[in-house]
Structure 1
Amino acid sequence: MTTDLLDYTRKVIIFVAMVGLAFVIAKLSHVLVLVFGGVVLAAVLLTLTGLLRRLLPLPHGAALAVVLVLLIGGLSMLLALFGTQAAGELATLIETMPAAAQSFQDWVDTTRLGPIIHEQIDALRGNVSRLVGTAGAMAMSLTSGLLEVFLVLVGGIYMAAQPQLYRKGLLKLVPRPVRLTTGEALDASGRALQLWLGGQLVAMLLVGALTGIALWMLGVPAAFALALIAFLLDFVPIIGPIVAAVPGVLLGFTVSPKIGLATLAAYIVIQQIESNIIQPLIQQRAVELPPALLLFALFAFGALYGLPGLLLAAPLTVFVYVLVKKLYVRELLDTETSVPGEPDEGSRG
């Protein structure tokens, strides 16, 4: 009887803790998004630091310092080698977009689908106006955005320097009976996040490379800049690749309608390769999220927190997904389930 009462009490405490956490998130949502951005950066730095320490017997602090120096040096080298080219092609991209849109419209007018497409474009004009207004508001808050980026960078470095300090501090806020379980859930979420970030980086590099090669072979202008855009936007699953394809397809139509359609086909093929070959191979060693869950998470976090929420929606979903499976499904509902990021994940059902 006593054991049953303790087990019941433990489950009640977990449930109350999760409700309290949800309440705190709702009240401090914007700040917590920035904190999670720092967590994502810390996860990247800890992954790189761990890889370096496998090669060299360095203390954690020294390894992190080396990683930061290498990252800053590598970024500076890339800017020196390709910065001018990227800036020039991005400027060309911005200048040629109106002509590209006009070329696409002229081609649409020659097809039977022209009236239908124009109706859809007219229906979207209101949304475009709202987007322009949003972009203007974002430009007005540029200083605030740069400050937030700086806070995320500094916070991520601090977290990566002393991860156990912040882990222990967070666990002290959790009731003692569930502290061990919560610590295990946080560890599993952290490992799952690192696996997802590593896999996503590989996918982004492959997509960027394939996009650049395909557009260069087709003779599309600013192929390097378009490949860079495809690389960066691929961090946002589902929505990012669609947005990245728009300028590439429009620029393809400035060459000819045939090249424009070929460019569209190239983007579709690359995304099929990523969805059916690259991502399944990566997810074998990373985290497989249900596509519908990820899609709704993107729209939900984007609606709640704007651009930062959209950018961090996927890693935040990974983090919360593991916590829910570990704390709610397994511990509270007492239902056996595999939890990504657990060391003994393969032995569980």
Structure 2
Amino acid sequence: MSLQRQVFFWVGALAAFILFLVVFRTVLLPFIAGMAVAYALDPVADWFERRGFSRMAASLIILVIFVLVLVLSFVVLIPVLLNQLAGLIERIPTYAQQLQGLANALLSSRIGDLFRVDAAQLQNSMGQLMSQAASWLSTLLKSLWSGGSALVDIVSLLVVTPVVAFYMLVDWDKMVARIDSWVPRDHVETVRMLARDSDAAIAGFVRGQGLVCIILGTFYGLGLALLGLNFGLLIGLGAGILSFIPYVGTTIGFVVSVGVAIVQFWPDWYWIGAVVAVFLTGQFFEGNILQPRLVGASVGLHPVWLMFALFAFGVLFGFVGLLIAVPASAAIGVLVRFVIARYLTSPIYRGDAGVADDD
């Protein structure tokens, strides 16, 4: 009965937590961002403490440096990015028409005869597809540009996130100690072991992937801008930031940049190839240098399960779900591996023969 009560309690607590996320998902972004910032900067605060600073002083120094870097970045980049975003929104219909015209020209040439396709029917289908895609993307960007909710989200991120991060950074060790004091004493060592494993997995992703995003965004943005690609800085930085969500940032950045490059540079294939080379080079460094050294295999998730987690958390919790999908999945993975290890050593798996061998 004691085991049943524990199971019911933890299942109920999990259900209540999920319900809380679903109900308040529209206002959680700045708080989750603040928690992520505090979690990522906690080792820096510990470093200051080891050198004689109080926790309050260390947190204040980190907050000031963080806000200064953030403000300087926004002052330097935001005007340029906003101008590029406005220009991209304005040119999306033109780009769609030009891409459709290039595709029609290719289908009307020997390429269409070679593959024996019905050029007229395919052109009509491609035209409808391009129009729908351009309309959807234009509507999305306009809503991001002028939507009141987006403005509120940006203001809340800039104002609420640093405040939340500061207070959580000051009280981080106290919060961990308080939560530890709530753990049932009979299971405290097991819970601490799981917490350490989860912390190692999540820290490897949050801190490591954050650096990967900064490096990739800088590389893509500068690379595309130096090639003279229209809106290259915006596309490159956006691809780098979205790389926090595995596979999504690089895919979107590659598709958008190649589409813009085809319209801008056609028929100069070498410039289009140079844009492709920027992303291939970034992927090479990410896969062979950045990910192994900064993130490593600490998350411990198969790519298929990772994609499932992104879709599942995205559907349940929206954009906030995409941000927490990988860290939450890493923690769930630790719990699943623990349960499987316990199962493999239990009589349920080993049966009577395993019990007899132990005897």
What is the TM-score when the length of structure 2 is the normalising length?
Answer: 0.74
Cα 1:246–1:166 shift into 2, 3 Å: same
In structure 2, the CA distance between the partners of 1:45 and 1:277, relative to structure 1 (3 Å rule), is closer
Contact 2:239 2:253 in 1 (8 A): yes
CA shift digits 1:227-270 (9 cap, x unpaired):
22122111111122222233322321232233345424532443
Instruction: Report matched runs for 1:257-268 at 5 Å.
Output: 257=266, 258=269, 259-260=271-272, 262-268=274-280
Please list every run of 5 or more consecutive structure 2 residues that lacks an aligned counterpart in the other structure.
113-118, 347-359
* Cα distance in 2 between the residues matched to 1:125 and 1:172: 59
Counterpart selection for 1:252 from 261, 266, 274: 261
1:293 aligns with 2:305: yes
Please state how far the C-alpha of 1:23 moved relative to its aligned partner: 1.6
Letter in 2 for 1:235: F
Taking only the aligned residue pairs, the percentage that are identical comes to 24
Contact 1:40–1:315 at 8 Å: present in 2 too? no
* Counterpart residue number, 1:71: 66
Task: After TM superposition, give the deviation of residue 315 of structure 1 in Å.
Answer: 2.4
* Displacement after TM superposition at 1:92 (Å): 3.0
Structure 1 pair 191–58 and aligned structure 2 pair: CA distance change class (3 A): farther
Relative to structure 1, the CA distance from residue 300 to residue 285 in structure 2 (aligned partners, 3 Å threshold; closer, same or farther) is closer
Q: Which residue of 1 aligns with 2:164?
A: 155
Query: For 1:130-279, what aligned pairs fall within 5 Å after superposition?
Result: 132=139, 139=147, 141-142=149-150, 145=153, 149=157, 153-171=162-180, 173-257=182-266, 258=269, 259-260=271-272, 262-279=274-291
Aligned ranges 1:265-344 → 2 under 5 Å: 265-284=277-296, 286-326=298-338, 328-330=339-341, 334=345
Greater mean alpha carbon deviation, residues 98-107 or residues 12-21:
12-21
Taking the aligned partners of 2:5 and 2:326, their CA distance within structure 1 comes to: 28
- Superposed CA deviations along residues 154-205 of structure 1, whole A, max 9, x for unmatched, are 4343222212332344345543322332233234323432221221122213
1:48 aligns with 2:44: yes
Say if 1:125 and 1:49 are closer, same or farther in 2 by CA, change over 3 A. farther
- 3-state SS of paired residue (1:237): coil
Q: Which whole-Å deviations, capped at 9, do the CAs of 1:69-102 have from their partners, x for residues lacking one?
A: 0011112222344443333333333333333333
Report the AA paired with residue 222 of structure 1: F
Partner of 2:97: 102
Residues 218 and 263 in structure 1, CA contact (< 8 A), matched pair in contact too: yes
Say whether the 8 Å CA contact 2:213–2:240 is kept in structure 1: yes
Aligned equivalents of 2:336 and 2:156: distance in 1?
28
Pick which of 129-138 and 27-36 moved more.
129-138
Q: In structure 2, how many angstroms separate the alpha carbons of the residues matched to 1:118 and 1:209?
A: 39
Quote the Cα distance in structure 2 between the aligned partners of 1:309 and 1:98.
31
Q: Is 1:25 aligned with 2:17?
A: yes
Q: Tell me, which stretches of 5 or more residues in structure 1 are unaligned? A: 1-7, 336-349
SS at match of 1:110: helix
Q: Which amino acid aligns with 2:14?
A: A
Note if contact 1:252-1:261 (Cα within 8 Å) is conserved in structure 2: no
Give how far 1:39 is off: 3.1
SS in 2 for 1:57: coil
CA apart distance, 1:148: 6.3
Residues 14, 178 of structure 1: 8 Å contact kept: no
User: Per-residue displacement from partner, 1:99-145 (whole Å, max 9, x unpaired)?
Assistant: 33332222222223776586367469778878858985993644764
User: Per the alignment, do residues 36 and 205 of structure 1 end up closer, same or farther by CA in structure 2, a change over 3 Å counting?
Assistant: closer
Shift of the 151–66 alpha-carbon distance from structure 1 to 2, 3 Å rule, reads closer
Higher relative contact order (CA 8 A, sep 6+): 1
Moved more, 19-28 or 299-308: 19-28
Contact 2:204 / 2:296 at 8 angstroms: preserved in 1?
A: no
Specify the alignment match of 1:39 in structure 2: 35
> Aligned match of 1:111 in 103, 106, 116?
106
CA pair 248-130 structure 1, distance change in 2 beyond 3 A:
closer
**Partner in structure 2 of residue 342 of structure 1:** none
How far apart are 1:220 and its partner, in Å?
A: 0.8
Secondary structure at 1:247 match in 2: helix
Which structure is larger by alpha-carbon Rg, 1 or 2?
2
Which whole-Å CA distance do the structure 2 matches of 1:117 and 1:21 have between them?
55
The question of whether the paired residues in 2 share the 8 Å contact of 1:96 and 1:251 is answered with no
Counterpart of 2:355 in structure 1 is none
Would you say the 8 A contact 2:200–2:298 is kept in 1?
Answer: no
